[in-house]
């Protein structure tokens, strides 16, 4: 028997439906010949292996651990892989799906979101599949972005791999992170016992802050993320904050590494970073801006910026070896108030 208060997210979304829906809706990537496509796949696979050495040198992590092959996919392949990963993370089981439609409406909604996101994802490390996780690289998106930025394809492909390989190194060096994510997501999925009035009151306050602009608020308090937090009870808000802080650290650390390798590894790294950051800041059309807000894409971009600033500051003040204390366990992760105040983390953890 499943307690309604602890059912989790698995019964809410049919991830098989999400995968089928996403694949049906996804837009095709840029056209290429079979020969060109095979060449891109081969170069990305090679770059994912070559990136491992520089990442380990910079991070001083994962020495001696295996270097699994990356999986090169198209947009549909990423949707299928992301759906399977989410089912794994949320503990999805067809026997636990509830309701007349067994999570189908939510699955269709999730599939539509995955279809939209599939055109923006360059790569992703999935710690929940395979013996050593799975590194995914979305070939058509990498090609589309390198053409849009007008940068060296060879350099850009390696630069992207540096970011994603860093995630593999993070999870391989600190295996507790995967379990920490599972436990936190399980808490997010618990159904609390607050009254509708309590939730409505918090949501009203969040909407007022949203109408006022909220530019001085941290990313986790703005937009759709802030509205989500407003509907949650305290345990779920704390769980969401933990996930946001972990994501900020992981993305910021990966961004730090991909730039720290320097021009000896990626000759045009400075030019790529300038072009990439300019692309991130470019305003899209109103429909895309709305979708980005609804799907939390802008909050994700803020994670890169805040996280990288935190990692840059700690490494500059304490060095990479001391920084690596951050991977010890949940207690050494940065607190929400420490992301913007790296010295506070240094004083708490390294003192």
| Residuewise pLDDT in 10s, the chain (351 residues) | 333 333 444 457 899 999 999 999 999 888 889 999 999 999 999 999 999 999 999 999 998 888 888 999 999 999 999 999 988 888 765 554 444 445 788 889 889 989 988 998 999 999 988 777 899 999 999 999 999 999 999 999 999 999 999 999 999 999 999 999 999 888 876 654 444 444 344 444 444 554 455 555 555 454 445 555 555 677 777 888 888 899 999 999 999 999 899 899 999 999 999 998 888 766 555 545 544 554 455 555 667 788 999 999 999 999 999 999 999 999 999 998 999 999 999 999 998
Domain contains 315: yes
Overall domain count for the chain: 1
Domain contains 87: yes
Domain contains 102: yes
Exposed, middle or buried by CB within 10 Å (0-12, 13-18, 19+), for 139? buried
Domain contains 151: yes
Task: Report pLDDT digits (tens) over 169-207.
Answer: 999 999 999 999 999 888 876 654 444 444 344 444 444
Residue with tokens 């802030």: 226
Q: What's the rounded Cα separation, in Å, for the pair 214 and 228?
A: 15
Domain contains 208: no
Q: Contact 177/170 with Cβ under 8 angstroms?
A: yes
305 contact partners, CB below 8 Å, separation of at least 6 = 252
Domain contains 204: no
| Phi, psi angles (nearest 5°) of residue 134 | -135, 125
Domain contains 168: yes
Tally of CA atoms within 13 A in the half-sphere of 268 that contains its CB: 17
Three-state DSSP state, 46: helix
Q: Which domain holds residue 252?
A: 4-192+233-350
| Phi, psi angles (nearest 5°) of residue 101 | -100, 0
Q: What's the rounded Cα separation, in Å, for the pair 74 and 139?
A: 6
Task: Report pLDDT digits (tens) over 123-182.
Answer: 999 998 877 789 999 999 999 999 999 999 999 999 999 999 999 999 999 999 999 999
Domain contains 106: yes
């Amino acid at each position: 028997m499943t307690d309604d208060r602890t059912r989790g997210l698995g019964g809410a979304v049919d991830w098989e439906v999400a995968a089928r829906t996403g694949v049906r809706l996804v837009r095709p990537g840029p056209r290429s010949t079979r020969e060109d496509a095979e060449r891109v796949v081969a170069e990305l696979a090679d770059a994912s292996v070559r990136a491992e050495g520089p990442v380990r040198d910079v991070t001083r992590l994962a020495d001696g651990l295996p270097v699994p092959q990356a999986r090169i996919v198209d947009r549909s392949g990423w949707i299928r892989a992301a759906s399977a990963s989410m089912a794994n993370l949320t503990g999805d089981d067809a026997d636990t799906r509830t309701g007349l439609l067994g999570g189908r409406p939510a699955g269709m909604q999730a599939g539509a979101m995955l279809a939209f996101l599939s055109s923006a994802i360059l790569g992703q490390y999935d710690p929940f599949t395979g013996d050593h996780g799975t590194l995914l690289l979305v070939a058509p998106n990498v090609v589309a972005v390198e053409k849009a930025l007008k940068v060296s394809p060879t350099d850009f492909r390696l630069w992207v791999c540096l970011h994603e390989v860093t995630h593999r190194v993070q999870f391989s060096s600190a295996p507790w992170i995967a379990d920490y994510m599972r436990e936190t997501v399980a808490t997010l999925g618990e159904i609390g016992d607050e009254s509708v009035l309590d939730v409505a009151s918090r949501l009203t306050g969040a909407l007022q802050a949203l109408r006022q602009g909220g530019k001085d608020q941290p990313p986790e308090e703005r937009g759709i993320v802030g509205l989500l937090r407003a509907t949650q009870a305290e345990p779920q808000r704390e769980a969401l904050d933990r996930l946001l802080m972990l994501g900020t650290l992981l993305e910021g650390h990966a961004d730090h590494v991909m730039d720290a390798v320097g021009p000896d590894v990626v000759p045009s790294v400075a030019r790529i970073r300038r072009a990439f950051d300019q692309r991130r800041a470019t305003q899209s059309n109103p429909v895309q801006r709305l979708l980005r807000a609804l799907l939390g894409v802008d909050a994700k971009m803020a994670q890169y910026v805040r996280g990288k600033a935190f990692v840059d500051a700690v490494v500059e003040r304490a060095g990479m070896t001391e920084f690596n204390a951050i991977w010890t366990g949940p207690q050494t992760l940065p607190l929400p108030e420490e992301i913007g105040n790296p010295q506070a983390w240094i004083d708490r953890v390294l003192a």
